[in-house]
Structure 1
């Protein structure tokens, strides 16, 4: 089963890092967050990736073109212009890199890679979110419901704590940050049947995947949610990058299942 990853956005909310590279190439622990996402899938045996490129897509191309070299021990004989590979630490990834346009929106990017997916179920996610999600359980859930689309849903943690205050202004209770149990959000990590492309008819270049396609799937009762109650984090802003980096450096990277 192939894994499609959106990796073409501008990443404007983390501009400190994305002036020279696309957001999926922003590093956590010395590796692009894109690599971390791929490692999550690889842990469950899924190594066939289709990357939807856009903004500064050549940076991602150069990374994978030189991946073997960058992850190998080598001896370089400069005088004789020879290189000997002593050992490699490369992954089992097979990566298809597709230019889908610098300004194309997510529905258009997905439609453009249809020919590389074939007539089979596939997975789809965003190039900036990591989780300790069990991909095997996600697939089992998708198959059991027999719907066109499955989305992973998570509950966001509140950014601030809360207080209950009595009429006389006494604090009746104080709550530290907690998950908002009333609201589930789209966390990516989709599983899709090939029939999903029926919802991507016409010119989709100005259409977000999260708008009409998902809305119409919902109207037709073809979208189900896999509730993930574990760790999930999207690297949306610089503070998220710093939090993920701190987790990695402190050996507390909850998404690291490999």
Structure 2
């Protein structure tokens, strides 16, 4: 099954980091956040990716082309130009890197992936958000309801800490889910190929007409996820993710890096406590 990742936005709200690289290449723990996302999908057996490029897409291309050599020991014969790689991490992933235009909107980027997605169910997410969501459970939920689209909805932490008061005394102060604010779009979609018919052209914003029309037609279902989810829209978000990683408390790191390329998803963690649907084999 293909996994589409939108990685072409300008990332203007993270300008401190994105002047020289696209937002999906901003690093957490020395690795691009997109790498974290792909490791998550690979952990559950989804290793066939199509990445929609735009702003500074050449940075992502170069990273992927050089990935194996940069993560291996090398023997270089300068006379012949031959390079031999020894050991290192070589995930058994296939990655299509697709230029989808500098100013193309999200819906247009998705539509430009059509030739690479196959006429079958596929997954889709943004290149700037991480979660510990069980992707096999998400897929099983999608197949259970039989509609065209599943959107993961989440309750992210509040932007500011919430004080809990006892009289005039603050007894607790922490970031908690926005229960009172309701659910928001957390990406991590599962989609049928018919959704392409809901997208007009490059100017189409996926979050507007396509999703609104799918909802009106009764074809959009919500997978309610109460577990960890965090996007990286701002420098503050990046620092929060980095702090979690540095402290060895990164909830989205559910893989073992040494065997991520071999994972079949059977050891996936299910932390949200929601109902479970019988998962179908990954295709």
Q: Under a length normalisation based on structure 2, what TM-score does the superposition of the two structures give?
A: 0.85
Kept after mapping to 2: 8 A contact 1:108/1:206? yes
Decide whether aligned partners of structure 1 residues 81 and 96 sit closer, same or farther in structure 2, where only a CA change above 3 A counts: closer
* Structure with the greater alpha carbon radius of gyration: 1
Distance 1:50 1:80 in 2: 34
* Residues 79 and 140 of structure 1: CA distance in aligned 2, closer, same or farther (over 3 Å): same
Alignment of 1:128-143 (within 5 A): 128-143=128-143
Return the alpha-carbon distance in structure 2 between the equivalents of residues 84 and 20 of structure 1: 31
Is 1:220 aligned to 2:221, yes or no? no
For 2:230, the equivalent position in structure 1 comes to 233
State the TM-score, normalized to the length of structure 1.
Answer: 0.93
SS at match of 1:130: strand
Instruction: Identify which range, 148-157 or 101-110, moves more after superposition.
Output: 148-157
> How much does 1:79 deviate?
5.4
| More displaced stretch, 155-164 vs 84-93 | 155-164
Q: Secondary structure at the match of 2:144?
A: helix
Report the count of equivalent residues.
252
Q: 2:240 aligns with which of 235, 240, 243?
A: 243
* Local SS of the residue matching 1:66: helix
Shift of 1:88: 2.8
Mapped to 1, the partners of 2:157 and 2:68 lie a distance apart of: 38
Q: Contact 1:161/1:174 (CA < 8 Å) preserved in 2?
A: no
- Please give the alpha-carbon distance, in whole angstroms, between the structure 2 residues aligned to 1:79 and 1:99: 35
Deviations 1:29-49 (A, max 9, x none): 111101100010000110000
**C-alpha distance in structure 2 between counterparts of 1:175 and 1:210, whole Å:** 36
Q: Secondary structure at the match of 1:46?
A: coil
- From 252, 256, 276, the equivalent of 1:255 is 252
- For the residues of structure 2 that align with 1:70 and 1:148, how far apart are their CA atoms? 40
For residues 39-118 of structure 1, the aligned pairs below 5 Å read 39-78=39-78, 81-118=81-118
Q: Separation in 2 of the partners of 1:83 and 1:118? A: 35
1:186-207 deviation digits (Å, cap 9, x = unpaired) = 001000011111211x4x2112
Alignment correspondent of 2:183 = 184
Name 1:160's counterpart in structure 2. 161
